[in-house]
Structure 1
Amino acid sequence: MSLLMFLLGLVTGAIALPIDEFNVYNYGASGFGEIDDSQAFVNAWRDACIVRTHYARVIVPEGTFLLNPLMFSGPCNPQSIHFKILGTIIASGSPESWHGRDSSQWIAFKDVTGLNVYGSGLVDGQGMHWWDQSCRYHPKLEGCTKLAPTIFKFISCKESTLSNIYIVNSPQTHVLILNSKGFNVDNVMIQSPEHSPNTDGIHIHSSHSVKITNSIIGTGDDCISIGDYTSNIDIANIECGPGHGISIGSLGKNRKVVMVEHIRISDSKLKGTTNGARIKTWQGGQGNVRHITFENLAFDAVYNPIIIDQNYCDVSGTCKEEKTGVKINDVVYKNLYGTSSSKIAINLNCSKYVPCSRITMENINLVSVQEGNQVTASCTNAKGTEVGVNPGSCFRN
């Protein structure tokens, strides 16, 4: 063999490394949506995780697969493990199926590096029965549910992705990214009815270097919510609505110390949402929310297009005044425009003890969704600068 042929062989091998595939049908899955296929998924994942190869792929082919709560755990031997969903995965519609199990989760991945969940399929949490017994909407119902399953949990996953997938009707949050680093979400569609309780689209907590891009999210709660101990979050090209908007928080409940920084939310559209660009913190908390950018956002009939609430309370008027709070500073609002469905289009409700500072507003134009009506700006205990802002002036005091 010539040296050239040998080198070409090395290049070809580097490009076409073998991929071991594990089809759940080969492990006994029925694909009819009436029999529990959980064990077939567990066995396929087990073999994909332990195989000695660079890449492994679990395949969920066309068909309908009924799954009970599952945990897919690592670490795994392959440097990249793919979970390809081509069919439909459904949860049991009965909350009784979670009796004796962790009622906070349905499908979870834990301690996996190089995980890629994707496909043209559908994942349906069948949350309707959970919503019917939610304490949020039925507080007087005996045995009402405070905690319901999340469709996808990614726990302590590194350099991983979720992409090209359709996720619907979660009993509670649709996607949770927890204690993870280097996680990308791209081209996902998440949908639940507008009045479904606590159905956040994507929630990020204790995670770093997360990107969420090119996605359509409409739910009964935040399209995307950012929790505590998060940093370097980049959210772009999102279509949000219905829902509560894109929110940082709530943070600092029960006097917790907060650290959220370097968050950028840009190039997105929000339609018919309760909030637009929101930061919310509880009184009594400590720590910082800083280096936040909201840029190039379009609002269509949004009730609170720009809002900071440093006095957040789950039941308005019931939380006592505290002399400590989470410090909010270095927040930029740039190139934001559209319509407000409330009179107050800009509302910065900051703490008199820990005021918001270094707030920058530039090139903002918000008008009423009702032609002829006027909107206003209300800024309390907030300091900053503004250029080209309508309505203004926010920082006149």
Structure 2
Amino acid sequence: MGLGKIKRELLRVLSKEVALGATCFAFVVLMLRLLCSDVVAVKSEVVDVLDFGAVGDGTVDSSEAFLKAWDLVCSREIENGVRIMLVPENQTFLLHPVTFNGPCKAKEIKFLIMGRIISPISPKTWEGLDQGKWLMFRGVSGLKIKGGGEINGRGWGWWNQSCRYHPHLEGCTSLAPTAMIFESCKTSSLSQVRLVNSSQTHTHVLISGTNDFIVDDVVITAPETSPNTDGIHISSASNIFIRNSIIGTGDDCVSIGDHTTNIHISHVRCGPGHGISIGSLGRAGNFVQVRNIRVNTVSFKGTTNGARIKTWQVGKGYVRGVTFENLFFDSVKNPIIIDQNYCNVRGACRELETGVKVRDVVYKNLQGTSSTEVAITLNCSRSVSCTGLLLQSVLLKSSVTGKNVSSTCINAHGAAIGVVQPAPCFQDFDH
């Protein structure tokens, strides 16, 4: 029963006060006062997309109706209140590519997804449009997207023409829309929703110099074979928190791009996918700046990688102040890996004297199993070494009974504390 219905029912009971005992009557009055005082303290106005012509049959394009509802929510302010845009439950809404623009007058907007939002199946829908995006939120502060609903990118049409998996297909493409993009959205969050089968990356947090974005209690899934379907990608962002979530896709569960700082990832279940990756970085020969990354209490099941840092030799700049702590690996191919020689085709990129400096990386309390012989790979540049690496309390075993695991290092400098298995292969410790 909604808040309004509760109030109406209490008023109905109050109208029959003669039949009530004194104690019961006093209780009803108290409840009504509490409810009314709550409304005064936090005013809200619900804008239902159905009232603007949205059709929840999954076949009619409701993009215009959603934008009309958004324009109303964004253009009006409630003093000390919250604007709510409602996507109602038990309804499926087809949305073509759409951008929800700010800034908005409302200090806080709740985009409440209780129903289902689906993408067009055919890539032809994007002809003449930006093929990189489907749902975009730009320049909105105080945006809270939440609810028990689903956002389904229905990406198989794009997967079937991906050059990554179909390089000889005429007309293949490396482009595909990201399901949700957040650009310059300050003090905002995404929580409780389920994101499914994006054409490419499911969520891109591109905060462009602003900060404070929370992803909490989300489920992101796509087939293990779906190309480039990262769960969450972060770039040009700071103060980002990803927590209490389940992510399993065909690419990185979380990928961290350039110009990022203060990224906190915790209590995440990752798999299938390519693990949690910092990078790839420096592909265009640019100056990389990534620092203060914390990955804590994450489990990896059947992933290609676990804790990964990958950079291109042509890049410059740095990755520093990274901590991977309390991680558990279940049959992971590369539980710990740094690759400063990243290349589209392994070994095909010639060795250069440039590189992104990787320093001050901590691996603490890591355990589990590797599905390959080499459980720790520190493939650092011969010209720009990895320094200040620390392995503390690391216990990795083979997922195959009777097999051993090993470490391999190139120009990696660091130290080990406590039990570390397999044995580290550092050069002499170098601060």
**TM-score, structure 2 as length reference:** 0.88
Q: Which has the higher strand share?
A: 1
Residues 236-385 of structure 1: pairs in structure 2 closer than 5 A? 236-385=266-415
Deviation of the 1:338 alpha carbon: 0.1
Residues 58-77 of structure 1: pairs in structure 2 closer than 5 A? 58-62=85-89, 63-77=91-105
Aligned to 2:22: none
Gapped runs of 5+ residues in structure 2? 1-32
- The alignment partner of 1:253 has SS state of coil
Greater gyration radius: 2
1:121 is the counterpart of 2:152: no
Matched AA of 1:107: L
Aligned to 1:5: none
* CA RMSD, 1 decimal: 1.4
For residue 140 of structure 2, the aligned residue among 112, 116, 119 is 112
1:392 is the counterpart of 2:423: yes
For residue 157 of structure 1, the aligned residue among 168, 177, 185 is 185
Matched AA of 1:350: C
Counterpart CA distance in 1 for 2:255 and 2:145 is 21
> How many aligned positions are there?
389
- The alignment partner of 2:109 has SS state of strand
Deviation of the 1:14 alpha carbon: 9.1
1:83 is the counterpart of 2:114: no
Counterpart CA distance in 2 for 1:167 and 1:14 is 32
Mapped contact 2:412–2:427 kept (Cα < 8 A): no
Counterpart CA distance in 2 for 1:283 and 1:395 is 21
Deviation of the 1:141 alpha carbon: 1.2
Counterpart CA distance in 1 for 2:285 and 2:58 is 46
**TM-score, structure 1 as length reference:** 0.96
Counterpart CA distance in 1 for 2:395 and 2:110 is 44
- The alignment partner of 1:221 has SS state of coil
Counterpart CA distance in 2 for 1:217 and 1:134 is 22
Deviation of the 1:21 alpha carbon: 1.4
Aligned to 1:39: 64
Matched AA of 1:392: A
- The alignment partner of 2:400 has SS state of coil
Matched AA of 1:131: W
Deviation of the 1:316 alpha carbon: 1.5
Deviation of the 1:12 alpha carbon: 4.5
- The alignment partner of 1:193 has SS state of coil
- The alignment partner of 1:311 has SS state of coil
Counterpart CA distance in 2 for 1:149 and 1:353 is 37
- The alignment partner of 2:135 has SS state of strand
Deviation of the 1:15 alpha carbon: 6.5
Counterpart CA distance in 1 for 2:248 and 2:115 is 22
Counterpart CA distance in 2 for 1:368 and 1:90 is 42
- The alignment partner of 2:364 has SS state of strand
1:203 is the counterpart of 2:233: yes
Aligned to 2:41: 16
Matched AA of 2:85: V
Of residues 303-312 and 314-323 in structure 1, the stretch that sits farther from structure 2 once superposed is: 314-323
Aligned to 2:202: 174
Deviation of the 1:395 alpha carbon: 1.6
Counterpart CA distance in 1 for 2:124 and 2:51 is 29
Counterpart CA distance in 2 for 1:331 and 1:237 is 20
Aligned to 2:121: 93
Aligned to 2:12: none
Q: 1:352 to 1:199 in 2, by over 3 A?
A: same
Deviation of the 1:384 alpha carbon: 0.5
Alignment deviations for residues 75-129 of structure 1 (CA, whole Å, 9 cap, x no partner): 0001101100000100000000111111100000000000000110011000011
Counterpart CA distance in 2 for 1:33 and 1:254 is 41
Runs of 4+ in 1 over 4 A off after TM superposition: 11-15
Counterpart CA distance in 1 for 2:415 and 2:175 is 42
Deviation of the 1:394 alpha carbon: 2.0
- The alignment partner of 2:340 has SS state of strand
Deviation of the 1:244 alpha carbon: 0.3
